[in-house]
Amino acid sequence: MFFKSPIYTRKYKVRIMPNGILILVLIITCSMVTVFLNLQTTTVSSTLGPHWTTGTNMPRSVFEVSATVLNGKIYVAGGQDENGDLLDTLFVYDPKSGEWDLESSLPVALDHSALASYENKLYLVGGFLEHRIPTPQLFIYDPETKSWQVGETMPTARAGLTSQFVEGILYAIGGSSGDNSGALSTTEAYDPKTDSWTEKDPMPTARHHISSTLVDGKILVVGGRVTEVFSSLNTNQKYDPKNDSWIELEPMPTERSGVAAVTVEGNVYVMGGEKIIGSFNTLEKYNPKSDSWSVEPEMPTARLGLDAVDLEGKIYAIGGKTNQSSKSATNANEIFVPN
C-alpha cells in the first residue's frame, strides 16, 4: 500500500455480506489515490431476526431427493434431473468450506427414497426404480470405506415414504405402492443389530409424498397426499416409538405434499410443497408445546420435491423443482436462520 500525497478525507462504510459477515471498511481518499482498508470482520448477531440466505448451489439440478446429516456434512441421495432421468448420485456438502463433492454412486438409480443416518453410516430405503416401480431395498453406506452393503429388504415395497432413527431403530413410514396411487399407512422398524424388520402400528392416515422430523424422541409426520396433488393434506400426526402409538396434532395451515420438515430448538418448520399448478414457497412453524402454527418468512425459491436438514441451528433447503415439469428442476441450496 502506497501513499503519494496527504490524506484529505476519511469515510466509513458498513456492509452486511450474504453469508452473515459484517465488514467495516475505511475509505481514505488522497489527492493521488484512493486506498481501501479492511479494518475489522465480525459475525452479525441474531439482530437480523429470522431470515433466509444462500449457500453454495448443488453441482446439478435435482428433485425428489432425500437428504440427511452425518458428522457435520449434508448428504443428498438420488432424485431426478431436468430431463426426468433417475440419478444414482450421492452428493456431500461441507457447510464450512461451502463445497460440494460427488461422494459415491448409489447401487441403483432411484428417487422418492428416504435417507437417514446412524452411527457413522447412511441408510437409504425404498424409492422408485425405472418405470416407477417401488422398491423394498435397503442400502447402507459407510463414508469411511466409501462402500455400500445391502440390508434386509423392507416387508413392503414403497416410495414417497419417510424415515427416522429413534434410539438405534430405523422407522420407515407411509409411502406409495404405485405411481401416485396405493397410499400406505405402513410403519415398519429396522434393527441394524439384527438386520431385521418388525411391523408397527400403522399411521392413522395413509399417504405418500410426506415428510417427518423428530421432537423429543417422537416422529411427527406432516403433509402428503392420497393420490394426485388435488388430494394433498394438511395432516399432522405424531408417532411414539416407545408406546407404538399415534396421535393427531393440530393440522398445518396449508394443505400440501412434497414438503420438507425440520426441527430446530424444539420447533418444527415445514417448507415448500406442490400446488395443483406450481409450488409453494410457504414456511410454517409448529410449536409442539402449544400445538399451534405460525407463518415464517417465505422461502426465496418456491419448490416441491425438495428436502431439508438442520445443521447447527440452521435449515438447509436443497433441490426440488418449481412446477410439475422436470425442466423446472433447481440446484438451489437456501439456508433459513430461525433466530
Please give the Cα distance from 118 to 190 (Å, whole number).
Answer: 12
What does the block give as the cell for 9?
478525507
How far apart, in whole angstroms, are the C-alpha atoms of residue 130 and residue 132? 5
* Whether 268 contacts 262, CB under 8 Å: yes
Cell numbers for 305, please give them: 420435491
Please state, in angstroms and rounded to a whole number, the distance separating the CA atoms of residues 143 and 103. Answer: 8
The predicted structure's pLDDT at residue 47: 64
d(CA 285, CA 202): 26
Per-domain residue ranges for the chain?
Answer: 7-43, 46-337
Contacts of 222 (CB under 8 A, 6+ apart): 210, 211, 212, 213, 235, 236, 252, 259, 261, 268, 270, 286
The DSSP secondary-structure symbol of 63 reads B
Instruction: Specify the CATH number of the domain 46-337.
Output: 2.120.10.80
Locus of grid cell 430448538: 265
Which residue stretches of the chain have pLDDT < 50? Answer: 1-46
DSSP state of 229: G
| CB burial of residue 288 (10 Å; 0-12, 13-18, 19+) | middle
**Overall pTM surpassing 0.85 (yes/no):** yes
Q: What per-residue confidence (pLDDT) applies to 339?
A: 87
For the record, the C-alpha cell of 266 comes out as 424444539
Contact, 284 vs 267, CB < 8 A?
Answer: no
Q: How many CA atoms does the CB half-sphere of 321 hold within 13 Å? A: 20
Give dist(CA 167, CA 113) in Å, integer: 22
C-alpha cell at 145: 470405506
